[in-house]
Structure 1
C-alpha cells in the first residue's frame, strides 16, 4: 500500500482526530486560567514521539496565553495545574472520565500518523517527533473570534491551517500529499470551521464565566532596578503581575527607546503570576543624563502605569567595591600562602636529605681528607 493510499484510508480517522482533538482542547479548557480581560486565547499541543527513552510517547498539554494549565499522556496520567480545574473536576467528575477516554483514543491515531510521515520522509527507525497545535482566540470587547491549527515534524513546520478558507498550507514539499487529501474532504473543512470558530469560543466563554471571580483578576507587580557591576546594563524587572498581557519599556525624555535596550521574554512564576525584564545599556550615557530615563510597566486593562525613575539609589546590586583593607587582606593571604608553600617544600627537602646516603668519595685523596680533615 502506498503512502497516499494510507493517508486516504486514514482520512476518516483524521476527521475523527480533529473532532476529538478539539473536544480535547475544550476539555483542557477546564484547566484554564484566562489571562486577559480583553483577549482570551487557548492552545492545545499534542505530541507524538518515537525512539525517545523515559518519556511518554504521547502527550497532550493545554496553555492559556503561554501558561501551562493541563496535562495528560499515554501513561494515563492526568495533571491539572490550576485550582479552578481541580474544583471543576470535583464538581463535575464525568468530565474527568471523558477527558481520560479522549486522551487514550488520540494516542494510537497519532502513532499511525507518525509512522506514515516516517515513510513519506524515507526515514528508518530513530527519534522522530510529530506535533499538532490548535486553538482559538476571543476578543471579549469586539467579540471577534479566530481559530488556528498547525502541525510540525522533527522540529520543522509541516502544515498550517488558513483561518479564512480553512484549507491547509503545505510548509514542506513532503506535506503536499497530506494537504491535498485533507483539503479534498469538504466535511472535514466545515467541521474544523465550526469547531474552531463557534464551539471552541462558546466553551471558552462558558469557562470564563464559571471562574470569573478568579480568572478575571489583575495583579500589579513589584518593579526593581538591577545591575551586576557598574559597567553592566541596568535591568528593569517586573515580577508578580497577572494577566501576562503587559509591556515593559525604557523611555528617555518620555519617548520609548528601541536602541540600546534588550527585551526579555515573559516568564511564569511558580504562583501563577508572571515576570519580565528589559535591559538598558548605559555605556554611552553620562551620569548627569541618568535622570532623563525611566522604566514604564503597563498592564493591559489597567489605566495607571508604574513608572520607575533611573536613580542610583534605586539600583540593587550584589557587587561590592573593593577597599584598601580588602587589598591589604588579599595581599596578606597571598604572602601567607607563599610562606606555607615554601615551608612545605623545605620540609620535604630535609626529609629527602635525611633518607639519601652520602655519596662515596671519588678517589683515595678525598677519602683521606674526610677521615683527617686537619692534616
Structure 2
C-alpha cells in the first residue's frame, strides 16, 4: 500500500483499539483475626467496586449508582446476592477449618481467598476465565479451563487437586460459569454503567523533582480507566535501567494516578533532550509524550499532595477487599450454583 493511501486511511478511518474488560469476585475468609469480618466478598467491574458484603453486615451493599439501578430493575439479582452472602460465610468457616486440619495448622491466624472471574476483549470477543485459591499468602490451587483439571503448585495441595479432579460435574459447571455466564454478566454490567465505566479521561502529566539530585518523576493524574502504562524512553527506545515504576493508585474522584522515576545521575545536561516520558491509555491511539526539559520540572516538593493522599487512602480501603492472595476453598458436592458467583 502506498504511503499516501495509508495516511488517508488513518485520517478518515481511525484505528479502533481493543480494550479488555474484567469482572472479578474476591472472597476472603479469616480465622483468628480480631476486629475484622470472618468473611468478605467484593465484586469488581474493571476494578471498580460493584458490590460488597461481609459476615458482619450480612447484606450486600451496592457501591455505584448504576449497580443500584440494576438491582432495582432486576430484584432477582438482589435475592441471589443476599442468599450467597448469608450462606457463604458459614460454608467458608467449614472450609477453612477443614483446610487447617488437612495442613495440621490449627493454631494461629489464617487467611484464605478465592479469586474468580473473567476478561473480555471488546474488539476480538476473546474471553479468558480464571479461578484461583490460596492459603496464608501463598498460591494453593488453580483451575485449568483447557483441561478442566486443577493445578497444584505445592505438594500440600496435591490431595485437594485429586479430589477436585474427580468432581467432574462441578468442573464443568465452573467452566460454563467462567466462559459463558461471567462474560454475559460483564457485558450487562458494562451496559448499565457505560456512562462511567466506558468513559475515557486523559491525565495531566507533570515532571517533578524533589531536589536537583533526585530522580525526575513523570507523574500522570486524573486518567480513566486504570488500564494505562507509562515509561521513559531515550532516542525512541524504551528504557529499563535507572527507571522505577510506581503503582497505579486511585484518586478520591474515581480517576487514577501513576508515576515513573528516571535516575539522571549518569546523564549529562546535553543529553537530556534525548529523553521523554510516554503515557499510554488503553483504547486511545495517541500517547501523551513529555520531553525531558529542565525548564518545566516542578521542584521544591510541589507534588500534588491532595490526590496522592486520596489515592493512598483509596488503595488501603480497596486492599481490604482485594488482597491478591489466592486461597483454596473446598467445594461440596451438589451445592447450588448461581449466575452471580458460586462457592
Q: Provide the rounded CA distance (Å) in 1 between the counterparts of 2:110 and 2:47.
A: 24
SS at match of 1:316: coil
The alignment status of 1:55 with 2:36, answered yes or no, reads: yes
Q: What is the CA–CA distance in structure 1 between the aligned matches of 2:82 and 2:115, rounded to whole Å?
A: 19
Query: Mean Cα displacement is larger for which, 208-217 or 286-295?
Result: 208-217
Q: How does 1:219-368 map to 2 (within 5 A)?
A: 219-318=201-300
Aligned-residue offset at 1:164: 0.9
User: Aligned-pair distance for 1:121?
Assistant: 1.2
1:92-107 equivalent positions in 2, closer than 5 A: 92-107=74-89
Residue equivalent to 1:343: none
In the TM superposition, what are the counterparts of 1:36-185 in structure 2 within 5 Å? 38-75=19-56, 76-185=58-167
Question: What whole-Å deviation, never above 9, does each CA across 1:160-191 have from its counterpart, x for those lacking one?
Answer: 11121121111222221221111111111111
CA distance in 1, matches of 2:298, 2:65: 35
Distance in 2 between residues matched to 1:66 and 1:225, nearest whole Å: 27
> How many angstroms does 1:77 deviate by?
4.6
| Root-mean-square deviation over aligned CA pairs | 1.8
Which structure has the larger Rg over C-alpha atoms? Answer: 1
Aligned pair partner of 1:188 in 163, 170, 184: 170
Unaligned runs of 5+ in 2: 1-16, 303-343
Task: Kindly state the Cα deviation for residue 79 of structure 1 after the two structures are TM-superposed.
Answer: 3.3
More helix by share: 1
After TM superposition, give the deviation of residue 83 of structure 1 in Å. Answer: 2.6
1:266, CA displacement in angstroms?
Answer: 1.3
State the distance in 2 between where 1:266 and 1:67 align: 13
Q: In 2, Cα distance between the equivalents of 1:143 and 1:105?
A: 34
Residue 14 of structure 2 aligns with which residue? none
The equivalent of 1:329 in structure 2 is none
Is contact 1:244–1:266 with CA below 8 Å preserved after alignment?
Answer: yes
Does the Cα contact within 8 Å between 1:228 and 1:318 map onto a contact in 2?
yes
The size of the alignment, in residue pairs, is 285
- Greater length-normalized contact order (CA 8 Å, ≥ 6 residues apart): 2
Structure 1 residue 81 displacement after superposition: 2.8
Task: Tell me the secondary structure at the aligned position of residue 122 of structure 1.
Answer: coil
Q: For residues 275-320 of structure 1, what are the alpha-carbon distances to aligned partners after superposition, in whole Å with 9 as ceiling and x for unaligned?
A: 1110001001111211121111111211222111111121111269
Q: Is the 8 A contact 2:18 2:124 kept in 1?
A: no
Query: Tell me, what secondary structure is at the counterpart of 2:279?
Result: strand
Deviation at 1:226, TM superposition (A): 0.6
Shift of 1:93: 4.1
Contact 2:215 2:264 in 1 (8 A): yes
The secondary structure found in structure 2 opposite 1:297 is strand
Equivalents in 1 of 2:205, 2:50: separation in Å? 26
Q: Is the 8 A contact 1:42 1:63 kept in 2?
A: yes
Distance 1:70 1:252, change over 3 A: same
Q: TM-score, normalised by structure 1?
A: 0.72
Q: Does the CA contact (< 8 Å) of 1:72 and 1:103 recur in 2?
A: yes
Report if aligned partners of 1:67, 1:268 keep a CA contact under 8 Å in 2. Answer: no
Partners of 1:143 and 1:276 lie apart in 2 by 29
Q: Is the 8 A contact 2:27 2:114 kept in 1?
A: yes
